[in-house]
Structure 1
């Protein structure tokens, strides 16, 4: 099973996609996947579980989820009361940030989520009403598509990002993972994987670490995460390699070794299979912005 990379139309100058008030079902949801665009998810009603990065979160009315690009995630709606939510996907390149003499960034909330490894915000009633209003305004602009509607949508997205950072995130309390999702050994092994995924680990090592049989480990992991363990490890290694290609001047063979690949040809093949381009092309594209 190959990793699932959700692909958006990168040729459209308006690099934003909007899914308004969709009611989720297990049949319509992607398994564990990732994409380069950033994502905001707002929950209106219903319940479910959101797996992001290495953590399970409850989904309930008023929740906001901020998912930076290249972050593995998956939703599992409740069968009896499935989640209804709106999702905004956008390329960070669409966010033009003029230099106004301060260090403000519209994307700071995503950066903070990635740093703290906490991707969930809970809103108060007045906050959720304001978020609902902004999302409704974006929906109306998409529906009517009048002159300047793309500019209006972008302005409303910036308003939303500003509101999340100044009001919702500033007011947020510290949240923890849902203690009821999955067995304890699975939550502990996800943390272990997060710390060791570039090392020589696999099913045998991880099942022994979790003190369960390999067969049981594989079954529960696939049920909760949506990928098998081999695909999950590969995806995390490739995402890390892409990050290093952007942030480091190390050569490709060194990065391949850092990320746990035994040979450069295998790294090239897996990188292209997962991301659809070579490591060199990825480095060039990232540094062109």
Structure 2
């Protein structure tokens, strides 16, 4: 699905993959543990279950297009398994580098592709869904080839946004989301007051500490539900929840379904 808007997609912890292209405006994009300065021509490659929020600037608001889809829809592999349409997403997740600064040639291709997809979705002619898939896969081929060509280059530094202690705290939460992460304890680790920590944390992530930690825990829970045969009780404990009831409540609030239903539906997707 494609959207063009002055703000990013609503906050939601979902499995869908996203491509976000910046047409105009300025702002900050918080993705995972990193802040990026957004500028026209940037393409953000965001795998599913990745925390991301837009921090726009009122004086020059962002206009962007977002293409989001279930990964199974476009995960086209070659006969010899040497190519996968989602390579750029896999690379972004592995390197934790989610921005591609497109050259002029790819900017033009991107804008043309988005117009083609929008036209197909608007006119809804016979076979339009298949057309959208083909157009999207062709575009991903271009992005994957460009990503391959720049892999030998050093990653560009992220925007210099936020204090060093904040980046350290986010890294600690990401590595061990199951550990206690109360506001007072995190502020003590950062050697700042709780009030200052809370204010800066919300300003730079658009979330409070509890919301952020829960999101990270549920991301970990999703991985465990799919990659292990652990019981719901075991997973809830491994993710830092004292009771399965609390785990169920938070999981459903962030994903819309229960842990059992998530494991069941995702297993069915993999087997088809």
1:252 deviates by 1.8
Match of 1:257 in 2: 237
Counterpart in 2 of 1:5?
none
The worse-fitting range, judged by mean Cα deviation, of 251-260 and 95-104 is 95-104
Q: Is the 8 A contact 1:23 1:82 kept in 2?
A: yes
In 1: Cα distance, 2:245 partner to 2:60 partner? 47
Question: 5+ unaligned residues in a row in structure 2: which ranges?
Answer: none
State the partner residue of 1:278. 258
Residue 43 of structure 1: how far off its partner (Å): 1.1
* Structure 1: segments with no counterpart, 5+ residues: 1-16
RMSD: 1.8
Runs of 4+, deviation exceeding 6 Å:
none
- Give the TM-score normalised by structure 2: 0.91
> Does residue 18 in structure 1 map to residue 13 in structure 2?
no
- Quick one: structure 1 residues 29 and 101, their matched pair in 2 at CA, closer, same or farther if it must change by over 3 Å? closer
Report the Cα distance in structure 2 between the residues aligned to 1:117 and 1:283, rounded to whole angstroms: 26
Q: After TM superposition, give the deviation of residue 227 of structure 1 in Å.
A: 1.3
Q: TM-score, normalised by structure 1?
A: 0.86
Cα pair 1:127 1:168 within 8 Å, conserved: no
**Residue matched to 2:156:** 175
In the other structure, the counterpart of 1:46 is 25
| Matched position secondary structure for 2:268 | coil
- String of CA shifts for 1:232-283, please: whole Å, max 9, x gaps: 1111101210111001122222211111112223222322232232222211
1:226 aligns with 2:206: yes
CA contact (8 A) 1:42 1:87 kept: yes
Distance 1:261 1:128 in 2: 45
1:118-160 CA-to-partner distances (Å, cap 9, x unmatched) read 1111111112111122112112222332222222111111111
**CA shift in 2, pair 1:202/1:169, >3 Å:** farther
Q: CA deviation at 1:86?
A: 0.8
Output the CA distance in 2 between the equivalents of 1:140 and 1:104: 28
Q: Does 1:84 find its partner at 2:63?
A: yes
**CA deviation after TM superposition for structure 1 residue 29, in Å:** 6.5
The answer to whether the 8 Å contact 1:50/1:56 transfers is yes
Partner secondary structure for residue 287 of structure 1: helix
Cα displacement string for residues 41-96 of structure 1 (whole angstroms, at most 9, x for unaligned residues):
01122211100111111111211101111111101122222222110011112125
Question: Is contact 1:34-1:73 (8 Å) kept?
Answer: no
Is residue 198 from structure 1 mapped to residue 178 from structure 2 by the alignment? yes
1:243: which partner in 2?
223
Alpha-carbon distance in structure 2 between the residues aligned to 1:116 and 1:285: 29
Name the CA distance, whole Å, in 2 between partners of 1:36 and 1:138.
Answer: 21
CA contact under 8 A between 2:75 and 2:86: conserved in structure 1?
A: no
Distance 1:272 1:78 in 2: 32
Residue in structure 2 matching 1:37, options 16, 22, 31: 16
Distance in 2 (alpha carbons) for counterparts of 1:141 and 1:265 = 44
Find the aligned partners of 1:116 and 1:58 in 2 and give their Cα distance. Answer: 18
Give the whole-Å Cα distance in 1 for the aligned partners of 2:148 and 2:157: 15
Q: Please list the CA deviations of residues 82-123 of structure 1 after superposition, one character each: whole Å capped at 9, or x if unmatched.
A: 222110011112125255123311112111111111111111
